[in-house]
Amino acid sequence: MPAPPWISALREDGRIASAERIDSPNHDERPEGNGVDLVVVHAISLPPEQFDGPGVEQLFTNRLDPDEHPYYASIAHLRVSAHFFIRRDGSLLQFVPVTQRAWHAGVSSWKGRERCNDFSVGIELEGSDSQPFRAEQYDCLSCVLLRIRERYPRIDICSHSDIAPGRKTDPGPFFEWPRLFALLGTQSSLLA
């Protein structure tokens, strides 16, 4: 299934031109011999349970003000990022090229391999464990995944909770995996 044209192809430099580009300093080179074998779906909202604000962008660019919200004091020191962030309205932001390692997974393991940042792409959805995601987000996510598959033909898709069980819960119980797989034209988490 080809991706709709409103999400442009993944370029050689690891960027999607139709995504809003916001560069995060929180990335580095992938270790030699590590390609992209996995996409990790996350959910984030800053402040928690609030949407449409600048908190996520500020966190991923090390500009989060710890005095702006009580929760920010506990996370402003973190140096984290994701490759992509999909807002509630389906708009797409890119912080790190997929050719580089974003710092999204933390302590993690997938199919016996540790350090998932080394071989994965992180996609954050603006959301939480307590609210459904929007149709626009599923549409954008499926398009981005199809674009990634054009470059990396066999990739797994999983949740943050799958690679860090007991430590992470996102994207949470409201994320509809069958809906995503239907959009991708597949029945499983292997996007091939």
Catalytic residue set: 124
β-pair partners for 20: 93
Secondary structure (DSSP) of 42-66: EEE-SSTT--SSSHHHHHHTT---T
Three-state secondary structure call for residue 121: strand
d(CA 62, CA 76): 7
Q: For residues 85, 153, 172 and 51, what is the CA-based torsion angle, rounded to 10 degrees?
A: 10
d(CA 103, CA 107): 10
Pairing of strands 120-126, 84-86: parallel
Q: Which of 64, 148, 80 is nearest to 117 (CA)?
A: 80
Contact 182, 171 (CB under 8 A): no
